[in-house]
Each structure stands twice: as C-alpha cells, then as structure tokens.
Amino acid sequence: MSSSFELLQQCLKRLPGLGYRSAERLALHLLVEQPGACEELMAVLAQARDSVHACPDCGNLCEGDVCEVCADGSRNRAILCVVETVTDLRAMERAGPYRGLYHVLQGKLSPIHGVGPEQLNLAGLSGRLDQLPVEEVILAVSNDIEGEATCHYIQEEILAGRGLRVSRIGFGLPSGGGIPFADATTLRSALEGRRNCD
C-alpha cells in the first residue's frame, strides 16, 4: 500500500502485545480516523523520553533526582523489596500493602540470554544496604530457574554476612485459581509453601 504507512505498521507490530491486525488498526487510527492523535502521541513520547529516567537509587522510573518511592519520607526504610522490573514494582504498588523501599534489578540472571551479574542493577545494591537502615530484604523474583539462580546469587554474594532477615515472596495457588487449573510447578510450590492452620 503506502510505504510510510507500512513502515509505521511494522514498527507498531514489533511492540509487545501487538500483532498485524492491531498494528494496522492503530496506524489507521493515528493517521486517518483521529486527526491530532498522531501529533499528541509524538508530543507525549518526546516529553517522556526527555524527562523519564531510571532512579539512581532504586532503578524505578523517575523524573526528578530520585523516584517517588525513594523520595517518600513515610516509607519504611528498614525493608527493601528486590524486584526484576519496573512493571513488577508497579504491580506491587497497585496491590497496596507494601510500604518499604524497592530495588529494581532490570532483569534476572540468564546465562542463555547473556545476562550475568554485570548486566543487572546489582552494583548499587551493596551501597544501598550500607547506607539505608535495612533490616529485612524481600526477594520478589519470579518462580522459575532463572529467578531461583538470581536469588541464590544475591543471597550468597551480596546479602551474606550482613545479618539481615531475607525472604522470598510466597508461591502457590493464585487467588481465584482452582487446583485443576494449576500447573505442576505451581502445585509443587504450593505444597512446599504450606502453612500450619493453627
């Protein structure tokens, strides 16, 4: 059809969660159906690109010196929750109850994808543990082999000898999920993570 249009559609199709049809729909919406939508998207993309960066302390998104969580004086600086991505951090924040600080790894150890400790945001973690009055570290890392390896590395190389309380978030049956729908790994985790009912 039209080559700039195809280029836009291909670019949109490479974004996560978009296929051929949805990319076409977006491109037509931006160029034809909604005059101004293209301008608006370009403006907010430019603004976000210019002002959003990783928080130098925790790795969360931020627009000032540090992110909103790090800047919030009411957060409990004795607890640090280690997450893989900003997406995970935002999901934790939406869930609500956690009031400590975070540390975003920007990934997990994965030799097969070329991700070693140097590729993760681990260098800052020791420094933060020196500076902050941290007593507890919660490893909120995914329930797979790579997550397991990441936790192991952090415990052995960074947390060892600091006398901290270290935990991993619970794994098991998701809320609203029945046993027949759970896969074997989830059920194994749920059995291992069983709690006494008293």
Both tokens assigned to 155: 């415990």
Point out which residues pair with 168 in neighbouring strands: 139
Rounded least distance, CB 101 to a second copy, Å: 15
**Beta carbon nearer to a second copy, 66 or 173:** 66
Decide if 108 contacts 146 (C-beta within 8 A). yes
- The rounded radius of gyration (Å) of the Cα atoms in the chain is 21
**Beta carbon nearer to a second copy, 63 or 157:** 63
Rounded least distance, CB 36 to a second copy, Å: 10
Residues forming contacts to a second copy in the complex (CB under 8 A) are 1-5, 7-8, 11-12, 14-18, 22, 24-33, 37-42, 44-52, 54, 60-63, 67-68, 85-87, 90, 93, 106
Rounded least distance, CB 139 to a second copy, Å: 21
**Beta carbon nearer to a second copy, 86 or 141:** 86
Residue among 97, 104, 187 at smallest CA distance from 140? 104
Distance CA 159, CA 173 (A): 29
